[in-house]
Structure 1
């Protein structure tokens, strides 16, 4: 079987809700990273077999196959196709997985995978404005339960005995780690500055320096009156996009490109759709088993910080080294632009692996409906 390698990975800085990226249409924002990928690699976009693009809320600005219109917005040839992928929060991670699978299978030679979400322009929950999400058969099967990620986070905190103090400690640490990473220039090699309204935007803007357990203490619970989940220990509503160029070692050599990492193994798993966010636990077990690796073989973990209980429960179940978990901070500190987050996490994890010369990295995302992706990549240089 052929291999699949990542040649380059780029992302926008993450914009906070109604912040620096809020005036940029999702197709145009996507085009910025597509253009940057071509500029950095010198690849002729006419040779790209497909653009696989994650996006969750596919209405309004993000409707009509945003992956295809991202290609056109970038000025790429009309014959280059694009497809939009939706696996909830893991959409662009699934795009990366699917691109790698297609390359390994010999159906594609050169693919761009990534995603976008402009939550400032297409608000969370917009899909509920028409029709009946989930359908009557599912609602009957789970009668009396609510499909709410916030309630799911509360259920996880209760099941794993996680106190508000523990969650707030994790949240404040996320801000501290993100601040240290920004100050250290950890993101500069892969962040594409974006100009909007005459201003150049180059740094994730959701970060709140000085966040502490004490500063979070005044925030009211968001989902239950006596709950432990609030805005400060949850991911931020954000805007952003990211893209990765995926090909084979042989094709990269023909193009004069040196691959950064090899796609090692991917897995997807389902879990309880009510608690909803526990999927990364079985997905991690599954991908490690397929890879023939142990948890201790992995040098860095990116577990999306949708809510603080998610990575903490994952940590408790997997026994992973907490020092290797989200070392650059996460979505609690810098935001979670749904359809773009999987690809954004991959660019961040790859940057960490290269700086620290870590052989393996594992990324996993909890997803609406109770699924989760897990992906292992192997550093090549």
Structure 2
């Protein structure tokens, strides 16, 4: 029987998450900073400040990085752009990963398995996204008749996206995947419940900010004042947090999704009258109040084998217990974290009730609430420092932020087990289960 090495999370750092407004350069606080530079800031902070004189960059076995849109200014150059942006040595190999929002957690998975099997002893994983410089609107003209509205093209056009068995076109619109999930679960996830989760997320994040919790994981980044390119501002907090969030305000925000009787799906799911009778509304239900915003940001984590950790006199943030990944129908991609978490819990030999705290990515409130209802865990154990609806969701970067923040929560709460999970565009899910070794 093969003996696997124990692997530990030993450090984690991230940038603040800015608000990205693709139509406004001036209002996007990080518009003048490249995505790979954001990773570079985390790498330099990790080696020059947090781990100074403990670990040298040249000791790293490999660097893995993920992004959801590896195009344009986010071109990864096999991960080397981000690594070199931190002035790191060329002797360390790098690799790039793409699993949409789960890209960086997948990079971390790769490193975990690499260290477990003895192919290295120190590994760094990063995730980044800059949703101003590379907005969430890739060029879909090829093999699409209408990328703006995601209308299903004529199958006679030899269009390989056309599938009779999968509503894959809906899968290209994250808003519509959330709307479709809500329509399937509306009986126990009412509109008010989604809005309340958004309000709770902002309140929890604001409280954590005031208490100084995030200072333990954020490296400040120089951007500019929102609305003024010429006024530099050093940011050490997440810009999307709204202190004044209320249920009334959140419920009043405009809808951004199409209901099941209108465009947005390959096939209309309901007649207008049927939709109203079933759901009590004539509109969609996904709004800015129950969704994550667009952001720019980066996050980085270092993992080590126990032997390497001990030889460098390092203390663990958490022990990695297990990983999980899974796939679902792309048109309801928000279901992805459920089967990936079932896999991770099984591999860890744990049940949902064994988990003390959860970080479930708030891409959309309906994703988290569906997850909570499936595993029947207390809502107050989920995203206790706020989630992506308040902190932000720079896509791939969230795959590092969630387990990193979770490890810090376990320390603060003196709790043993934590689980971090994300849904992924294209219909997938990724999960990590970690343990606080001090308990």
Using the size of structure 1 for normalisation, the TM-score is 0.95
Aligned to 2:114: 102
Aligned to 2:292: 235
Aligned to 2:175: 150
> Do structure 1's residue 212 and structure 2's residue 246 form an aligned pair?
yes
Q: Contact 1:20–1:201 (CA<8 Å) still a contact in 2?
A: no
3-state SS, counterpart of residue 87 of structure 1: coil
Change (3 A) 1:129 1:256: farther
Aligned to 1:3: 6
Q: Contact 2:5–2:117 (CA<8 Å) still a contact in 1?
A: yes
* Count of residues in correspondence between the two structures: 381
**Offset of 1:213 from its aligned partner?**
1.6
Q: Contact 1:153–1:275 (CA<8 Å) still a contact in 2?
A: yes
Q: Contact 1:11–1:347 (CA<8 Å) still a contact in 2?
A: no
**Offset of 1:15 from its aligned partner?**
0.8
1:339 corresponds to which of 396, 406, 415: 396
Spell out, residue by residue over 1:84-141, the C-alpha distance to the aligned partner (whole angstroms, 9 max, x if none): 1111111111111111111001111111012111111111112435566999445224
Q: Contact 1:54–1:114 (CA<8 Å) still a contact in 2?
A: yes
Spell out, residue by residue over 1:118-170, the C-alpha distance to the aligned partner (whole angstroms, 9 max, x if none): 11111111243556699944522446652222111112212222222111111
3-state SS, counterpart of residue 200 of structure 2: helix
User: Which runs of at least 4 in structure 1 moved beyond 3 Å after TM superposition?
Assistant: 129-138, 141-145
**Offset of 1:65 from its aligned partner?**
2.5
Spell out, residue by residue over 1:56-97, the C-alpha distance to the aligned partner (whole angstroms, 9 max, x if none): 101111014262111111111111222111111111111111
> Do structure 1's residue 195 and structure 2's residue 213 form an aligned pair?
no
Q: Structure 2 CA distance, aligned partners of 1:358 and 1:30?
A: 30
Change (3 A) 1:127 1:297: farther
Spell out, residue by residue over 1:244-300, the C-alpha distance to the aligned partner (whole angstroms, 9 max, x if none): 111111111111212221110001011122112101111122211111111111111
Q: Structure 2 CA distance, aligned partners of 1:272 and 1:194?
A: 38
> Do structure 1's residue 308 and structure 2's residue 365 form an aligned pair?
yes
Using the size of structure 2 for normalisation, the TM-score is 0.83
Q: Contact 1:299–1:358 (CA<8 Å) still a contact in 2?
A: yes
> Do structure 1's residue 82 and structure 2's residue 94 form an aligned pair?
yes
Aligned to 1:261: 318
Aligned to 1:128: 140
Change (3 A) 1:190 1:64: closer
3-state SS, counterpart of residue 331 of structure 2: coil
Structure with greater Cα Rg: 2
Q: Structure 2 CA distance, aligned partners of 1:143 and 1:113?
A: 33
Gaps of 5+ in 2: 21-26, 153-157, 225-231, 260-282
Aligned to 1:56: 68
